[in-house]
Each structure stands twice: as C-alpha cells, then as structure tokens.
Amino acid sequence: MPARREPPLTAARRLLPRMQIWREAIHREPELSHRERTTREKITSALDELGIPYRTCSGFYGVLGLLGEGRPGPVVALRADMDALPVTEATGLPFSSRIDGAMHACGHDVHMAALLGAGAILAERGRSIAGPVKLIFQPAEEDGCEGGALPFLRRGCFRDPKVDFVVGQHVDPAVPAGVVGLKAGPCMAAADTLKIVVHGHGGHASSPHQGPDAILIAAEIVVGLQALVSRVRNPVDPVVVSVGSIHGGTRHNILPDEVVLEGTVRTFRPSTRELMERALRRRVRAIAQSLGARASVDYERGYPALWNPPKETFRIEQGLRSALGGARVRELEFPVMGAEDFARYLERVPGTFLRLGAATPGRAASLHSATFAPPEESLEVGAAALVAATDTLQRSRA
Ligand SMILES: [Zn+2]
Ligand SMILES: [Zn+2]
C-alpha cells in the first residue's frame, strides 16, 4: 500500500498501466452521443474494482461516483465527458476503434481514464480524504444542443451533497504533452446554430431575369454575414460566423426555388450574443428583400460561453504549480472559439476548466480528426492535475 500523501504525479505514474487499460478498452468501443451504454458499463465496472460507490439513472448514461461522503471539507465535482464522434479512425494505434464510423476523436477516452485514475488516487486516501469528491461521467457533450450537462444537473448531480466547486479538463493539441494550460475569464465560446432558407424563383438558368435567383442571394448572404463580424461588433470582442453548408440546385442550367445555408455563430459575452442574433436576422432579411426574395432564419442557442472564474482559476494554478512543478503549468494567452457544455456547471458553481496538453512531436492532428491520438503522458498528468486541483480547493473552505 503506498504512502497516503504520495505526490499526485507519483501516484498517477504508478497507476498509469491501469489507466491505459481503461483508456484502451473505452477507445476500442466508442459510442456516439446519447448511446454510451457500453462505456457506462466500463466505467461502473472500474468503479466497482476501485470500491468507489456510484449512482446511475434510467434513460440516461451518466455515472456519478462519490468519495469521502460525510467528510467536512468542501464538495468538489470532477467531470469527464463520455461520447465519441462519427469519424472513421486512421491513427493506426493498436487499440484503434473496432466500430466502423465511430472514434474517440475528441479525446474523451483520455478524460474518462484520467478521471478514473484521479478517483483511484483519492480512494486510496480512505478516511484521510479532506472532503467529499463527486466523479461526474457525463454523456452527450458532442451533442451541441441540449448536451449532457443540463440533463445531468436536472437529475441532481450537483445535489446531495451540494457541490461547492467543479473542475473539468479537455485535451488540447495546441498545448505540449505533459503541460496543463489555464486561463482565467473567457475560455471557450457560446455556440449557436444558424439555418437560413432563401426562397427564390426557379426556372431556366438562361432566363435569370424572370425571378429572384436564390443562389445569387445565398452568395450575398454569406458575404453579408462577414460584414456583420467586421462592422457590427466591437473588434476587441471575438466573434465567429461560419457558413458550413450550402445546398441548392440540381444541375448547371436550372435555377433552384430554394437554397439552404447552415452555419455556426460563436461569441463570448451574452450582450454580444444578443446583438449578433438580432443583427443577423435583420441583415439576412434585408439582403433577400433588396433582391426581391424572402429568407427565413432559424437561430438556435447552443452551449453558453465558458468563463473560468479568476479567483478559483488562480488558486488552482498556484496549487498545480506546487504539486506538479512550474514547468508543467502554463497560463494560456488566448481563449478558443470551440464550445463545451462544461460551461453549464460553471454557471452554477465556481471552479475551472483545464486544457490538458496533448501535442505530440511528429503528429499535428487536430481535435475531431481521424488521426488525433493524445499521448499516454496526458493520462498521468490529467489524473494528477485533477487530484492537485481537488487538494487546492479542499484546503480552503467554500
Ligand atoms: Zn469535440
Ligand atoms: Zn471534446
């Protein structure tokens, strides 16, 4: 049995072979959002092995582990997401996905195995654990609309005992492996989806004067949306509007009745989010009307922006520096325009979201790519970072 207060990184190194087994088993059988049944079984059997009590609920694949029940310190929740993506794996790893068209291309396999590793380290402390720790294994993060955090919160994952702080992490190929990145304030963007339908007048392409051309209007809209980004919002407040798909028409000499555009809108401030939605609806309608057509706009709010509270983020940064060594901790300069439903937890309690280094020399794969393969080092540093953050938050009362 190891010493009770073994440094987190030493403990994580000792547990690495176990974390690798968990990670590889999860990685081999990836499951898409809302279908994480087998993944849940793997997590509950690992928790059984570790002697960590947990709860599950019917009709939802989340797992909630609980350590140190009744201990006096603040309650810390640690969260990992569980779902995979519809990507066919091309990493060549010996534990590659066995499921055609599904892959852990966003590193959630690493998040789960690192959280199990952190749970194992904290469980070894037995009664000397400073306070209760909840292990939140959350499905459906990639879903993008309702996600998995909101349904889990509705099912009471932050109640009984009430959570005081929350910590999560995501692998990041822009941060060197072995390093943990932190950033106070705006960290990840709000993500809204956009669907525009342009109603034109179909007919022979040789007679475009006979009615509004939906293709031309769609092109004007794509350009007009970028003018909103550059001329409506404050230039020091980041915004992205991207049109990711355009569908219209069947062949070269027929003008279609209708063109459908789909896109995403990313913002940080709630007031900017409001501004962009209002301005975008107005601009799309105005462009269509000015060319004699009509356009409908369907604007759906997705995850809110993720803001790391400065007080807890700085405190955790200090804690990580002393537990892991300064060379393993980096203050990040920029937020990212990606979105995360971890933001839902931070809307309720303070904490932080860490960016776990996953850059590997010679592999430049990005998240969601078929060749993304975070290295083993991410597992041990991820588990150690979660334990060190928990220790820091439980040293001072909520
Ligand atoms: Zn993802
Ligand atoms: Zn992800």
User: Using one digit for the tens of pLDDT, what is the confidence trace for 148-205?
Assistant: 999 999 999 999 999 999 999 999 999 999 999 999 999 999 999 999 999 999 999 9
Ligand nearest to the CA of 79: 2
d(CA 188, CA 392): 23
Looking at residue 261, its pLDDT comes to 98
State the residue for tokens 């005992």: 161
Q: How far is the CA of 170 from the centre of ligand 2 (A)?
A: 6
Torsion of CA 112, 118, 119, 125, to 10 degrees: 170
Counting the structural domains of the chain, the total is 2
Give catalytic residue positions: 303, 376
Full residue range of the structural domain in which residue 19 is found: 8-187+305-395
- pLDDT of 396 reads 60
**Cα 28 to middle of ligand 1, angstroms:** 18
CB distance 142 to 106 below 8 Å: yes
Sign for the pseudo-dihedral over CA of 182, 183, 184, 188: negative
Shared domain check, 234 and 258 = yes
110 alpha carbon, closest ligand:
2
Which ligand is the nearest neighbour of the Cα of 82?
Answer: 2
With respect to residue 123, please indicate whether it lies within any of the assigned structural domains. Answer: yes
In a domain, 1, yes or no: no
Q: Are residues 19 and 141 in the same domain?
A: yes
Last residue of a domain, one of 301, 325, 340: 301
Residue 16 included in any domain: yes
Low-confidence ranges of the chain (pLDDT < 50): 1-3, 397-398
Note the ligand closest to the C-alpha atom of 355.
Answer: 2
Same domain, 322 and 180: yes
Instruction: Please indicate, yes or no, whether residues 18 and 163 belong to a single structural domain of this protein.
Output: yes
Residue 342, pLDDT score: 98
Tell whether 194 and 168 lie within a shared domain: no
Rounded to an integer, what distance in angstroms lies between the CA atom of residue 335 and that of residue 17?
33
Question: Do 129 and 243 fall within a single domain?
Answer: no
Residue 220 Cα, ligand 1 centroid: separation in angstroms?
A: 31
pLDDT computed for residue 362 by the predictor: 75
Distance 178 CA to ligand 1 centre (A): 20
Q: Which of 273, 301, 329 is the last residue in one of the domains?
A: 301
Asked whether 162 and 398 are in contact (CB, 8 A), the reply is: no
Residue 255 inside a domain? The answer is yes
> Residues 311, 289: one domain?
no
CB within 8 Å of 214: residues ≥ 6 apart: 198, 199, 200, 201, 202, 248, 255, 256, 257, 258, 259, 293
Q: Is 80 a domain residue?
A: yes
pLDDT at 397: 46
- Looking at the structure, do residues 169 and 230 belong to the same domain, yes or no? no
Predicted confidence at residue 20, as pLDDT, reads 98
Q: How far is the CA of 341 from the centre of ligand 1 (A)?
A: 11
Q: What confidence score (pLDDT) does residue 5 get? A: 79
pLDDT at 134: 98
CATH code of the domain containing 223: 3.30.70.360
266 and 168 in a common domain: no
CB 287 within 8 A of CB 295: yes
Domain CATH for 47: 3.40.630.10
Q: How far is the CA of 388 from the centre of ligand 2 (A)?
A: 22
